[in-house]
Amino acid sequence: MNLDSDLMPSRTGHGPLPSLAETQARLDERAAAVTLTPDLPYTLADRLEEQAERYGDRPFLYYQADCYRYGDINAWANQVANVMAVRGVRAGDVCALAMENRPAFYAAWFGLVKLGAVVAFINTQIRGVPLVHALSTTGAAHAIVGEECMENFQATEELPSLPLWLVEDDELAARPPRELPWQPLGEAIAAAEVTPPPAGQRDGVRTGDRTLLIFTSGTTGLPKAAIYSHLRWLTSGDVMVPTVRATKEDVFYCCLPLYHGAAATSVTSTALKAGAAIVLRRKFSVSAFWSDIERHGVTVCQYIGEICRYLLNHDSQPGKHSLRCMLGAGLSAEIWQRWVERFGEMRILEGWGSTEANTSLINVDNRLGSCGRVPAWNRTNFRLVRFDVETERHLRDEEGFCTLCEPGEVGEGLGMIQYDENTPVAPFEGYTSAEATEQKILRNVFRHGDAFWRSGDLLRYDEDRYFYFVDRIGDTFRWKSENVSTQEVANALDDLPGMESLNIYGVTVPGFEGRAGMAAIVMQQGQAFDPEAFYALTAERLPGYAAPQFVRVSASADMTSTFKLRKVDLQRQGYCPELCGEPIYLRDDAEGRYVPWSEARLEKLGLPAFRP
């Protein structure tokens, strides 16, 4: 196992290949910016206060017609901190935050960290059991809730006992009725002092302490709360500033939800570190995208692959725009090529990683379709090991150790946690659940006693050590750059009236990244599938990206001898009626129901025919 060899075959037909030294120099530049250590008394709040002093009159946030300067956001955060300190929030307390993208999100978030509190971001689309799970597993002692998310809480039974602090939303067309003991904060925050909270509020909080809890999908069951330390959050900005080549003149575009790791970490931490501005969009809008870019002179945009596809399929065409850099994940080579052909050459920083990851890849060379390059194995804690997708087991040698993938082989990406060679290691901060944390650790990988974080992702790399994302392992599939647990979807929909069995799986859709959700439903004898009722159930209980895009109404369920539902044949047959010989329905959001399959319907919905 030679991890240190730098012998690389030449590349032809792809333009000049950066030398190992050039690529490594770029990565070293990123690493050199990081000087923080876990034991420092330095936090996200200190970074904010430093930058507010340095760039107080410069724009930090553009939202609709408003501009909030660094000094404005810092003062607003002080007001939140002063109000919440009076209400009992102390350093180390977990405070849930459920709010859509708007300036008050930043004020609440930053105000809480000024007190040393840990902020648990809550998905704005969840209610019921998932919401109870989110509040319970984070151990939230308080919840700050935007008025726009209030109904999610009111529709949820058996909420944990904790104070509910309400932040009003002036953009609502109508005020929803308040059925819970809400405690409004708006007037109190507006009247609070803009001076910093009392000295000592966050004494004892260190850089290595946790500051965020961000939910990420697991392979089964409900999402897990991943721990994010001040160190990881700050380091994200320190590393990305030289990677993006960001300066205080840059303007970042944020249209992904802030409760998501990408928007809250890479965009916010990078902009704050650089002294740059952020254009905040409440929700992504295809029609408004380029007008936002042109109006605010946006230079850097964060994406997921689906955003780029939506924009390419829209008629809007910008004039001479200011966009120079895109950073994100999930961009296929085909969409990438179409993007630069239509909108012009720009840096595409396609990456790979996850909220809880202790390792990552990023393509700093603009290599089409790649999510990053490893120029030298002894400079990274990332490893790709052989994995059998049928048995879902790692392939081990005669000594019982994992084996490294060769170019072209598909394997699972791992991140080194403990290893005794001269190779970088990184802690795995894990989840709020110790059991869930241990399940993500693979031990005795290359020698007895070592430990690696398991990504659950399958990747491959070429002869030049450029990596490409392939798929998720097992039942979890990726759609619209979100990981979807088939078990979670099945649990949410398993009480459809008249249904006998439900099998959820992912199917490939030509031209789309990842896999779309599909449901194979067996109805009870004498019962018929109701496409409107099933649509209503998915709309009530699932985020849009997790709802099945296709439904197959089957005569019987395909099970193993141990009564486990089979998925492989279903996935191979996809959403093609000729292959499966059973009725297929398509999700039509415009009509609010599932509609019978037809070529005309496929074309109307912008879906290609299935190709096995």
Digit-coded pLDDT (tens) for 103-135 = 999 999 999 999 999 999 999 988 999 999 999
**265: closest CA among 223, 210, 228?**
228
Domain that holds residue 389: 377-472
For 127-186, what is each residue's pLDDT tens digit? Answer: 999 999 999 999 999 999 999 999 999 999 999 999 999 999 999 998 889 999 999 999
Question: Could you tell me the pLDDT band of residue 561, with boundaries at 50, 70 and 90?
Answer: very low
Q: How far apart are CA 252 and CA 275, in angstroms?
A: 11
Q: What percent of the chain has pLDDT over 70?
A: 92
Q: What pLDDT sits at residue 282?
A: 95
* Domain identity same for 431 and 527: no
* Domain identity same for 563 and 463: no
CATH, residue 198: 3.40.50.980
Contact 503, 568 (CB under 8 A): no
* Domain identity same for 458 and 516: no
Compute the average pLDDT of residues 353-358. Answer: 92
Lowest average pLDDT, out of 32-36, 46-50, 375-379, 590-594, goes to 32-36
* Domain identity same for 466 and 523: no
Q: What average pLDDT does the structure give for the chain?
A: 89
Q: Which of 209, 231, 253 is the last residue of a domain?
A: 231
Q: Which of 429, 451, 472 is the last residue of a domain?
A: 472
Question: Could you tell me the pLDDT band of residue 36, with boundaries at 50, 70 and 90?
Answer: confident
Compute the average pLDDT of residues 529-543. Answer: 94
Question: Could you tell me the pLDDT band of residue 32, with boundaries at 50, 70 and 90?
Answer: low
* Domain identity same for 538 and 438: no
Amino acid (1-letter code) at residue 267: V
* Domain identity same for 534 and 582: yes
Q: What pLDDT sits at residue 426?
A: 87
Question: Could you tell me the pLDDT band of residue 557, with boundaries at 50, 70 and 90?
Answer: confident
Q: What percent of the chain has pLDDT over 90?
A: 69
* Domain identity same for 129 and 219: yes
* Domain identity same for 458 and 529: no
Q: What pLDDT sits at residue 418?
A: 80
* Domain identity same for 134 and 110: yes
Q: What pLDDT sits at residue 26?
A: 60
Compute the average pLDDT of residues 413-420. Answer: 86
Compute the average pLDDT of residues 177-198. Answer: 95
Backbone torsions φ then ψ of 357, nearest 5 degrees? -65, 150
This prediction's pTM? 0.79
Asked whether the predicted pLDDT for residue 308 surpasses 90, the reply is no
State both tokens at 191: 């009247």
314: in domain: no
Compute the average pLDDT of residues 75-92. Answer: 97
Give the strand pairing for 411-418 and 382-388: antiparallel
| CA quadruple 440, 446, 447, 450: dihedral, nearest 10 | -30
For 367-397, what is each residue's pLDDT tens digit? Answer: 999 999 998 888 899 999 999 876 789 999 9
* Domain identity same for 456 and 497: no
Q: Which of 472, 491, 522 is the last residue of a domain?
A: 472
Report helix, strand or coil for 290: helix
For 230-258, what is each residue's pLDDT tens digit? Answer: 999 999 999 999 999 999 999 999 999 99
In the chain, the number of structural domains is 3
Task: Annotate 373-398 with three-state secondary structure.
Answer: ECCCHHHCCEEEEEEECCCCEECECC
∠ CA 113-115-117 to the nearest 5 degrees? Answer: 60
* Domain identity same for 118 and 146: yes
104: in domain: yes
Q: CB under 8 Å, gap of 24 or more: what pairs does 487-494 form?
A: 487/220, 487/221, 488/217, 488/220, 488/221, 488/222, 488/223, 488/546, 489/517, 489/519, 489/542, 489/546, 489/547, 489/548, 491/221, 492/541, 492/542, 493/519, 493/534, 493/537, 493/538, 493/541, 493/542
253: in domain: no
∠ CA 501-225-34 to the nearest 5 degrees? Answer: 140
